[in-house]
Every structure is written in C-alpha cells, then in structure tokens.
Structure 1
Amino acid sequence: MTEQFAGKVVWITGASSGIGAALARAWADAGAHVVLSGRDEARLAHVAKDCATDTLILPYDVREEAAMRAACEQAIGWKQGVDIMANNAGISQRSRATETAMEVYRNIIDIDLTAQIAATQAMLPHFTTRGSGHLVFVSSVAGKIGIPLRTAYCAAKHGLVGYADALRAELSQSGVSVHVVCPGSVATDVSRNALTADGSARGRSDSVIDNGMPPEEAARRILDGVESGEREIIVARGGESSWGEQRRTPDALFDQVAQMVANGYMDKIESEG
C-alpha cells in the first residue's frame, strides 16, 4: 500500500466491530487519522486502542439526525476537514418475507439506507467545496442480487447502490470520488445481530458467515479498491464473488453516465419547463 492515505482524515461509521473496526485499523496502519462512530462508546474506545494514529470517537445512533449533524461538525473541525467518509453502519436480517413485520422493514431501511443518505447529504457541501475526497458506501453482494431471508436488507442495500451510483454521476466533475463496496460473507457478528421476523436479534451466527472472509482481508481489499479508484469494489470469495462479478456494473456504463453530466445533462433538465 502506498502513502496515499498518510495524514488523511477518515470517518468510519459502524466502527465498533466487524468490517468497520477492521477498516479503522487498516487505515490507521496506512497513516490516516481515524474518526470512529457507532452506538457503543466503550467498544469504539477498544478499537481506538488498536489504532496507532490519532483517533476521535464520536458515538451516536445513525437514526438520530441531530446527533449525526453534530458529529459531522465535530469530524470536520477535528483536523480541519474529512478526506474519506466510509458509510459502513448497518444491520442485517434473517426472516421470511411472509413472516416479517413491516416494522422490521422500516427499521432496516432506516438504518441501512436512509441514515446513510442523511449523513452523506450533510457532508456533501464539505466535500464539494473542497473539490476532493472519497465517499465510500458499504453495501453488499445482497445489494446486487436478491438473497433469501433478507428482503428488507436487500431492499436497503440495493437502494444504497442506486443512490451512490446516481451521486457518483452528479459529482463526476467535482473531484469527489464515490465507491460502492459489495462484501459477501465476512466473519463478523452480522448474522448474530440480524433482525428476525418480529424485530428481535437472531442471537446466533451461521456457518456461511463463520467461515467467511476475515474482516482484515476485507478491509485490505476495500483500501486497495479506494486507492486504485475502483467505483465498485467486490469483496467476496468463491460463488459469492462470481455472483458479484456477474452483476458488476461495467465501467463503460459509469463512464457513459458521467459523460452525460460533462455534456450538460443536469443543467439542460433543470432549465426545461
């Protein structure tokens, strides 16, 4: 890994465990200063101890917009700017659609999609004014294809990909990069913490997750993808990697939509009528 991240400020949500914690350690090892957010301040402090760099802990619930906006101001003010924002906070699901309460759909979409959009919207003026930086959205292979027992999760993660892709096009002339990360099974507590049909935590993992990619490997893959400018970063092994690759959006299509913006598409549409 090069020195591209040295001295940069990276803000990671969902940083108290799993991929988020691994990202914090990886970016710290690369010389970045890291801002750690999540609901559990004690767990964030534990992650911070593993980071051999300057760290700032900003605990809050991503669904609380006032707390999120306050965290944005603190993150920006800490070292006069944020260079990379990694939207990683999220929760999964393990329940059949025919048995799942509507409140479960609302909760998962609120956490995995709406809250990520809200935080990004709050930070956009900072990134566009600076004319540089990276917005990283941790979606899932389940954000590219439909996976059984995850209808709410798939809806949210597909939505996150759609938002990020459209945002990338709009920002294509701004100097701000947008990256979508699609992990497959990673050995975290994602299945144990997943919501069941009535909204309660599942409380147990499964073999596919337990035998998944180590979070440290996933984090290295993500950093490499951001560093090399990949717009869609597939982080998976075996069959899941094949699924992700089959549904990968071609770079030529991303380029085509970006060219529309360069040719004045947004100004033309806004000026009509």
Structure 2
Amino acid sequence: MKNLRNITFWITGASSGIGEALAIQLSQLPVNLILSARRATELERVKKACSNEDRVKILPLDLTDFDSHEEKTNHAIAQFGQVDHLINNGGRSQRSLVKDTIFQVDKDLMEVNYFGSVSLTKQLLPHMLKRGNGHFTVVTSLTGIFGTPFRSGYAASKHALHGFYDSMRAELEDSGIKVTIAAPGFVKTNVSINAFQGDGKALGKMDDAQANGLTPEQCAKAIIKAISKQKREVYIGKESYAAYVKRYLPWLFARLIKKAKVR
C-alpha cells in the first residue's frame, strides 16, 4: 500500500470497534494518526495498542458539539502540519420500531451520525482544497442503501450520508478531493449495546445478528483496501448481496426485508 505512506489520517469513533481496528491496522504502515472520540482514557488505550506510537496523537472530540469543531480541526492540523485523510467513523445505532420511537431519538441519530460528520468535513475541507488534495472516507452502513425494520432513524441518517458525500464527490473530485463510502453489514462491535431504544435509553446488550457479524479487524481490512484503491463505494460483509437485490429486484427485496433477522 505504497500510496498510503507518510500521510496523516484523522479517525473519529476511534475508541472502540471499527475505529479502533482501523487505528491499529493503519499504525502498522508508515503514516501519522490522529485518534478522536469522546473518551480520552479509551483513546489512550488504543494508542498504546498501536505500532509506531510516536506517530499517534489523541484528540478528544464530541461529534455533536458543533461549536468546538473549528478549534478541534485546527488542533488536528497542527499535530502534524496537515491532515490528508479524514475517516468519519463515529456514530450510534438504533433498535426500535417506528411506532415505539420518540422523535428525540431521530434527532439524536441525525446529530451524531450525519451532522457530526458533515460539520467536521466542512471545517477540514478548506485546508484540503488549499493544498489541492485530500480524501474523505465515511463509514456508513448497508442501511444507507436500504432500510430495515428496527433501524428507521439510523437508516435515515446513513442514507443522508450517502446523499451528502455522493454530491460532494461530484462537485470536488476534479479538484483533487476523493471520497470513499464504506457500507458494512453486521460487525461484531458494541454498536448494538450502545444502540438507542425507542425511549432513548441504550439497549445494553449485543443482539444475535451483531454477534454473528464480521470482526472489526475484518471490516477494517476491507475499508483500508478500498481506501488504498481509492474506491468510491464499497459494500462489506455477507449481507452485501441485499444491496444488489434492492437495486435489481426491488419487488423481491420488499418481500425479503420484512422477514430479515436484523436483531
């Protein structure tokens, strides 16, 4: 992966799951890393697990504290003099039916999953445009391609990410700005444990579908491969076939998704 040498990655949601796995795997390359999430102690733990620890910096960040994003972006740039690649990975999931979900949950999902990534992207974009190159990777979900039961607000936030970053790519690709959308299926992380229930409380347990998913390490490997190849979009996991069923056989997809085991 020679094209990934000596560049600076900024990873959100780096304190666990896919973000942690991305940090550890990328640290094995000759790159600089800036790791962000809300929990500084967990970021320190991930940093210690990384190779080339002297090339890893931590930057605590709350994706929903939009007013702090300008300062955080300036701080990130100052760490190594530039940021070449932002991996928007932070977010939160949901496990509740539409009829049982209060509106605040929908708002909270959009704030952390969509507005948080968009805010950080817009703060960093002028830096990349001034330099004439840069790369944004956004970790969405296969629910950004199709909605499923128990994920209405989550799917909406991920669909929104696809819309935003597809549009941004179309506008800026000729200006040297690359965009990779990575859409995983089920990955065995704490995402279901932390997922919103309908009343806004965390689910507090790992559901069966998540437990049987890819490991974070497998998912991270696929994302890094897509980044290296500068792919515009990649679907990850055995559930990826559903994206093609949705595209080419929508009538069949509509029948199947009602019965899909997503919990």
Taking structure 2 as the reference length, the TM-score comes to 0.91
Q: Assess if the C-alpha contact under 8 Å between 1:96 and 1:149 holds in 2.
A: yes
Letter of the 1:88 counterpart? N
CA distance in 1, matches of 2:69, 2:63: 6
Which residue is equivalent to 2:199?
A: 198
- Deviation of the 1:64 alpha carbon: 0.7
CA 1:182 to 1:248, structure 2 compared with 1: closer, same or farther past 3 Å?
farther
Q: Does 1:220 align with 2:221?
A: yes
Q: How does 1:26-41 map to 2 (within 5 A)?
A: 26-41=25-40
Q: CA deviation at 1:244?
A: 3.0
Q: 1:187 to 1:113 in 2, by over 3 A?
A: same
Gaps (5+ residues) in structure 1?
250-273
Task: Give the aligned partner of residue 78 of structure 2.
Answer: 77
Deviates more, 1:126-135 or 1:37-46: 126-135
**Distance (whole Å) between structure 2 residues aligned to residue 247 and residue 158 of structure 1:** 14
For residue 165 of structure 2, give the secondary structure of its aligned residue in structure 1.
Answer: helix
| Change over 3 Å in CA distance of 1:4–1:248 after alignment to 2 | farther
Of all paired residues, the percent bearing the same amino acid is 36
1:157 equivalent in structure 2:
158
Gaps of 5+ in 2: 249-263
Cα distance in 2 between the residues matched to 1:158 and 1:60: 24
SS in 1 for 2:196: coil
**Residue deviations 1:190-228 (CA, integer Å, cap 9, x gap):** 101000001000000111111110111111100110111
Verify the 8 A CA contact 1:136 1:179 in the aligned structure 2.
yes
CA distance in 1, matches of 2:24, 2:194: 22
How many matched pairs? Answer: 246
Q: Aligned partners of 1:234 and 1:130: how far apart in 2? A: 30
Two-structure CA RMSD over aligned residues (Å): 1.3
Q: Distance in 2 between matches of 1:183 and 1:154?
A: 13
Counterpart of 1:172 in 2: which secondary structure? helix
TM-score between both structures, scaled by the size of structure 1? 0.88
Residue 247 of structure 1, CA deviation: 5.4
Structure 1 stretches of 4+ moved >6 Å? none
Counterparts of 2:131 and 2:218, CA distance in 1 = 31
Offset from partner CA, 1:150-178 (integer Å, 9 cap, x none): 00000000000000000000012111100
Q: How does 1:229-268 map to 2 (within 5 A)?
A: 229-237=230-238, 240-246=239-245
What CA distance in whole angstroms lies between the structure 2 residues aligned with 1:36 and 1:176? 22
